């Protein structure tokens, strides 16, 4: 039920926050002399701060339930980001920003397992264990289930909270209770360490064909890609299949570094801001792939994946196989707001070396191959028709090069 407040009650709430308004006004007066171009005018600052404080005062005094002021403040910041009406722009609280940084850097302090929620047992199932990580050293195996974290059942915590408690600062301890079929529950105390995600996985296929799957372009991706290339080249790689299917993208600098190891000297991509400022990203001539290359893309290959695919296409350095990519041709920048929170906003468009803007359009493959089954369910099998087409093409290219 909505109810209008009387003027008397309104001013009571407003007066309660008057002291804060005075401080904010003083801050605005000081900021008047250092406002950057494009910032609010002094008058707009006063109007914004006054209304902002009035709303908080009303909610704090008159709302039926008690509300944490920090929740209101974060909500106001998030609302401002939402008002842009851009799904790629958002406000991060301190905790959200820490999680975001883990994703973009590809490193976190934890126990070294990949997991999923088991609905039937209400436990966390271990899918794989990173070699030499804390879980590996403690003897945890794929298929084990984590039942408790620090003595609290994960069924009570839920997946997100349990994962948050398993993670923590490097060199600190966490105690988990592990359930293994046919054995009594095992309580283990593990010391967290820095863990790298598996951004790149690779193997040598029959016919000396190298295969690299890039799951993302986090901060660790260039190093892992370099390790993959070095390993495959030492084994005598004659051709390379690069799998970017399902790759949602990541850091622009990471994809440019990887592109630099595959392309001849020249433009990888360039960005342009609203003001027309152009920034170019280039490759040098120090490392150039000297074997045929086929790149797998699909409708879920996005952003940085499309930067790489577009650059390889425009330089005629690789053949694209699969389906048209996602079509994300815009770049975001994240600004630290000084208190641990952050703002991520779209600030530029990016273009392929030939000047194509692929946002909402995507990149068409040279060889169109649709998939009847989900890629992850049949990857690298006979049912993986895209992979089979890539194999045929790389064999053809290898034969042509040897003739």
- Pairing type for strands 293-297 and 319-322 reads parallel
pLDDT of residue 141: 93
Residue 239, beta-bridge partner list: 209
Q: Does residue 13 register a pLDDT over 50?
A: no
Confidence of residue 387 (pLDDT cuts 50, 70, 90): very high
pLDDT of residue 37: 53
Confidence of residue 50 (pLDDT cuts 50, 70, 90): confident
> Within 13 A of 311's CA, how many CA atoms are on the CB side?
28
Q: Does residue 34 register a pLDDT over 70?
A: no
Condensed to tens digits (0 to 9), the pLDDT of residues 114-146 reads 888 988 999 999 988 888 899 999 999 989 999
- Residue 4 per-residue DSSP state: P
Question: Is the pTM here over 0.75, yes or no?
Answer: yes
pLDDT of residue 153: 95
Could you give the 3-state DSSP secondary structure of residue 140? coil
DSSP annotation string for 169-229: STT-EEEEEEE-TTS--EEEEEE-EEEE---EEEEEETTTEEEEEE--B-TTHHHHHHHHH
Condensed to tens digits (0 to 9), the pLDDT of residues 243-289 reads 999 999 999 999 999 999 999 999 999 999 999 999 999 999 887 89
pLDDT of residue 47: 79
Confidence of residue 362 (pLDDT cuts 50, 70, 90): very high
Q: Share the mean pLDDT of the chain.
A: 88
pLDDT of residue 44: 76
> Within 13 A of 282's CA, how many CA atoms are on the CB side?
9
Contacts 24+ apart (CB under 8 A), 56-61: 56/17, 57/13, 57/14, 57/16, 57/17, 58/5, 58/10, 58/13, 58/14, 60/13, 60/16, 60/17, 61/12, 61/13, 61/16
Active site (catalytic) residues: 303, 314, 328
């Amino acid at each position: 039920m909505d109810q209008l407040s009387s003027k008397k009650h309104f001013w009571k709430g407003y007066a309660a926050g008057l002291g804060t308004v005075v401080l904010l006004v003083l801050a605005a007066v000081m900021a008047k002399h250092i406002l950057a171009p494009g910032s609010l005018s002094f008058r707009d600052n006063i109007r914004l701060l006054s209304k902002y404080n009035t709303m908080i005062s009303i909610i704090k005094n008159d709302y039926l339930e008690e509300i944490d002021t920090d929740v209101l403040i974060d909500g106001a910041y998030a609302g401002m980001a939402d008002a842009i009406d851009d799904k790629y722009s958002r406000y991060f609280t301190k905790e959200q920003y820490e999680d975001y940084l883990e994703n973009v850097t590809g490193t976190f302090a934890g126990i070294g397992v990949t997991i999923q929620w088991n609905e039937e047992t209400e436990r966390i199932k271990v899918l794989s264990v990173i070699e030499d990580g804390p879980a590996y050293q403690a003897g945890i195996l794929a298929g084990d289930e984590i039942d408790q974290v620090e003595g609290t059942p994960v069924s009570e915590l839920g997946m997100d909270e349990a994962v948050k408690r398993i993670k923590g600062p490097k060199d600190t301890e966490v105690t988990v209770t592990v359930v293994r079929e046919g054995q009594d529950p095992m309580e283990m105390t593990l010391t967290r360490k820095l863990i790298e995600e598996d951004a790149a996985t690779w193997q040598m296929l029959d016919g000396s064909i190298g295969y690299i799957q890039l799951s993302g372009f986090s901060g660790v991706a260039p190093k892992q890609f370099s390790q993959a290339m070095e390993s495959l080249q030492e084994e005598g790689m004659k051709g390379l299949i690069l799998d970017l299917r399902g790759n949602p993208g990541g850091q622009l600098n990471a994809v440019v570094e990887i592109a630099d190891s595959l392309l001849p000297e020249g433009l990888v991509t360039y960005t342009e801001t609203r003001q027309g400022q152009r920034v170019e990203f280039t490759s040098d001539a120090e490392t150039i792939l000297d074997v045929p290359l086929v790149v797998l893309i699909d409708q879920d290959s996005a952003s940085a994946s499309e930067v790489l695919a577009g650059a390889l296409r425009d330089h005629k350095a690789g053949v694209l196989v699969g389906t048209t990519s996602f079509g994300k041709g815009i770049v975001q920048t994240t600004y630290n707001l000084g208190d641990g929170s952050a703002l991520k906003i779209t600030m530029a468009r990016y273009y392929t070396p030939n000047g194509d803007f692929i946002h909402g359009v995507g990149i068409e493959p040279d060889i169109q191959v649709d998939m009847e089954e989900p890629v992850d369910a049949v990857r690298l099998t006979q049912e993986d028709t895209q992979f089979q087409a890539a194999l045929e093409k790389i064999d053809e290219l290898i034969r042509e090069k040897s003739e």
